[in-house]
Amino acid sequence: MKTPIYLDYSATTPCDPRVVQRMLPFFTETFGNAASRSHAFGWTAEAAVEEARSQVAQLLGAHPKEILWTSGSTEANNLAIKGTAQMYREKGNHLITAITEHKAVLDPMKHLETQGYEVTWLPVDRKGHVDLDQLRDAITDRTILVSLMAANNEIGTLHPLAEIGAICKQKGTLFHTDATQAAGKIPLDVEAQHVDLLSISAHKMYGPKGVGALYVRRKNPRVRLTSQMDGGGHERGMRSGTLNVTGIVGMGEAARICREEMATEVPKLMALRDRLEQRIMKALPDAVLNGDPQARLPHLTNISFPYVEGESLIMGIKEIAVSSGSACTSASLEPSYVLKGLGLGDELAHSSIRFSLGRFTTEQEVDFAADRLIAEVTRLREMSPLWEMVQEGVDLSQVKWTMH
């Protein structure tokens, strides 16, 4: 077993070797510009792009013509949100999202607020769910778009897409979902789930970095977007720029593998995740599972370890690559806004670790990670004044701390 062990698949995934093999000729031999209509180099590239488009469409239950290539999910989210907001400005100026969305949704929304749009920021419950009645009540005849993610990137909570989509359809507003974390992990079907716009990224599903896609519904209703990148009129004028043919080919292959192997891959991931979780919980019974224990991604678990701080914990388990909701891992010194959005106290948010498993994770790695983590939490607790106080029977919520 090689260390460090990678348990941060929600941050990014390695390319599947099959994806790399499929991409290689497009760097050197079939390098044409997909927009070159006058020669075989261009035709070959275009054919490959269209095949990939079809693969991505199949993963989502969409038509290939509804897939638009982008540089990743951040661009796809920006295009979906700003693109519809600008296109449908005559209908209204209202958008709805939730406080636990990814920054690539929150920040475009905040940007729109400075441009005269109004945004409703839905709160979430302890498990990370929005209240669907509250969503329904928030939609008015001036609402352009509802944007709610398929799966949360920090805690893995799944939003009920079909129910949200049905509400939006009934109320006559567009529904965008950021499915970056969900694609390839849970079944997505834009028809059954009434999704109008959907963002995905290749590098979260064993494809290359720097390529993504936006699904844009073509009928019932036909969704139109104001382009955010102007130029040669590629992608039906919605996203100009020479296509990243190599990356697109990789994304297509990655989507194909995910679709064909999901049925066998997901149960395996879930078993490994449960094994990790159970081993940790058994040894550290006061650890807290964040998010929804049922409706969540199969490969992710987010756990808080009370009385120890996240960054020091991560430092101690350097043989394991994971993420933390701790303030100290960011420059802002603020703990995870997602965990705080759930109503978690700062101290629990500070001590949280996100483990995300993937295609190449083994049982041996999971056991090693659990054991290292348990040992380090135990060591840090021995060093923790909070743990000592709790052992002495002190109620930490009653202590008068000196804020700094």
Query: Contact at 8 Å (CB) between 108 and 252?
Result: no
Dihedral sign for Cα atoms in the order 114, 74, 106, 315: negative
Closest separation in Å from C-beta 109 to another protein? 27
395 binds another protein, rule: CB under 8 A: no
* Per-position DSSP letters for 30-66, written without gaps between them: S---TT--SSHHHHHHHHHHHHHHHHHHHHHT--GGG
311 binds another protein, rule: CB under 8 A: yes
341 binds another protein, rule: CB under 8 A: no
Query: Contact at 8 Å (CB) between 182 and 198?
Result: no
Tell me which of 244, 312, 323, 336 binds another protein, using CB under 8 A.
Answer: 312
Closest separation in Å from C-beta 203 to another protein? 23
337 binds another protein, rule: CB under 8 A: no
Long-range contacts of 259-262 (CB under 8 A, 24+ apart): 259/55, 259/58, 259/59, 259/184, 262/184, 262/185, 262/187
Span interacting with another protein, options 59-67, 208-216, 263-271, 381-389, rule CB under 8 A: 381-389
Closest separation in Å from C-beta 359 to another protein? 29
Q: Annotated catalytic sites, by residue?
A: 328
66 binds another protein, rule: CB under 8 A: no
Closer residue to another protein, CB minimum distance, 144 or 308: 308
Query: Contact at 8 Å (CB) between 191 and 165?
Result: no
Question: In the stretch 346-365, what mask flags binding to another protein with x, by CB under 8 A?
Answer: xx--x---------------
375 binds another protein, rule: CB under 8 A: no
**Residues of span 279-308 touching another protein by CB under 8 A:** 307-308
Tell me which of 345, 367, 368, 372 binds another protein, using CB under 8 A.
Answer: 345
325 binds another protein, rule: CB under 8 A: no
Closer residue to another protein, CB minimum distance, 284 or 308: 308
Which three-class secondary structure state does DSSP give residue 303? strand
Cα–Cα distance, 249 to 48 (Å, whole number): 6
Closest separation in Å from C-beta 404 to another protein? 6
Which of these, 215, 204, 171, lies nearest to 299 by C-alpha position? 204
- Any idea how long the chain is? 404
Cα–Cα distance, 82 to 76 (Å, whole number): 10
Query: Contact at 8 Å (CB) between 163 and 295?
Result: no
Cα–Cα distance, 401 to 398 (Å, whole number): 9
**Residues of span 75-134 touching another protein by CB under 8 A:** none
Closest separation in Å from C-beta 350 to another protein? 4
Closest separation in Å from C-beta 395 to another protein? 12
Closer residue to another protein, CB minimum distance, 34 or 308: 308
51 binds another protein, rule: CB under 8 A: no
Closer residue to another protein, CB minimum distance, 206 or 387: 387
Contacts of residue 185, defined as CB under 8 A and 6 or more positions apart, other chains included, come to 151, 262, 266, 269, 297, 298, 299
316 binds another protein, rule: CB under 8 A: yes
Q: Give the interface with another protein as residue ranges (CB under 8 A).
A: 307-309, 311-312, 315-316, 326-329, 331, 333, 335, 345-347, 350, 382-388, 396, 401-404
